Amino acid sequence: MAVFDLTLTMEDGMPVYPGDPAVALGALATVESDGFANARLVTGMHAGTHMDAPAHFIPGGARLCDIPADRFVRRATLVDASGLEEIGRHILSGHPVIPGGALVFRTGWSRRFGREDYFSSHPVLTEATAEVLADLGVTMAGIDMPSPDREPFPVHRLLLSRGILLLENLTGLEVLPEATEFRLLALPLKIRADSAPARVIAEV
């Protein structure tokens, strides 16, 4: 079994979605000065690799603290959507999808993280694709870009209204084989909020 980390490193001043607060990570104490190290992190919940819960768009929707821990460990498959600007439902034709599991979309967009166009020109999922995911019983969807859609965010609303957790800003998906089942562990902070940074691991 191989274990792969699909998570961006949280860093001081890292790129964030336009309009979100900057990430500030700094030392409160150092071993050299204080005999121990401590740090402080100030961040919006959508910085870096993170998970969206239904409360992100759905009034009264579940927050991350409301979701049982077993929802964060799923059997998963990956679909390669590299080179597509619009990810239509046709890409799922004949692709193995695990009811109750996760589906991860690899676009290659994560290689642009840090570039000016990362947040503005990314590919999008169509609403029809989101409908298929919901109809097939997917419970988690992952993408290697900042969002599956753009304002007014119809795909966010559709997926989250059906209880499908959303992983955004994944990275390193090139190590995963397409259509081969793997174990996905996506562990967000247990927090009374709509979203939170997550450490995302694949076991292949």
For 174, the domain range is: 3-7+45-203
Residue 104, token pair as written in the block: 């991860």
CA 169, chain centre distance (Å):
5
Q: How many CA atoms lie within 13 A of 107 on its CB side?
A: 25
Q: Does residue 199 belong to any structural domain of this protein?
A: yes
Q: Is the dihedral of CA 86, 87, 89, 93 positive or negative?
A: positive
CB of 141 within 8 A of CB of 148? yes
Amino acid 161: pLDDT:
98
Per-residue pLDDT of the chain in tens (204 residues, 90 and over written 9):
899 999 999 999 999 999 999 999 999 999 999 999 999 999 999 999 999 999 999 999 999 999 999 999 999 999 999 999 999 999 999 999 999 999 999 999 999 999 989 999 999 999 999 999 999 999 999 999 999 999 999 999 999 999 999 999 999 999 999 989 999 999 999 999 999 999 999 999
Nearest in space to 86 (alpha carbons), one of 53, 38, 121: 121
Which CATH number goes with the domain that contains 101?
Answer: 3.50.30.50
The values of phi and psi at residue 116, to 5°, are: -60, -35
Q: Does residue 36 belong to any structural domain of this protein?
A: no
Q: Does residue 126 belong to any structural domain of this protein?
A: yes
CB of 64 within 8 A of CB of 190? yes
Residue 135: its H or E element: helix 127-135
Q: Does residue 23 belong to any structural domain of this protein?
A: no
Nearest in space to 147 (alpha carbons), one of 121, 185, 173: 121
pLDDT digits (tens, 9 = 90+) for 106-131: 999 999 999 989 999 999 999 999 99
Q: Does residue 32 belong to any structural domain of this protein?
A: no
Amino acid 90: pLDDT:
96
Amino acid 179: pLDDT:
87
Q: Does residue 112 belong to any structural domain of this protein?
A: yes
- Write down the residue that tokens 């929707």 correspond to: 61
Amino acid 117: pLDDT:
96
Q: Does residue 18 belong to any structural domain of this protein?
A: no
Is 0.85 topped by the overall pTM? yes
Residue 181, token pair as written in the block: 């089942």
| Pairwise CA distance, residues 116 & 45, whole Å | 21
Domain count, the chain: 1
Q: Does residue 157 belong to any structural domain of this protein?
A: yes
| Pairwise CA distance, residues 194 & 88, whole Å | 27
CB of 104 within 8 A of CB of 173? yes
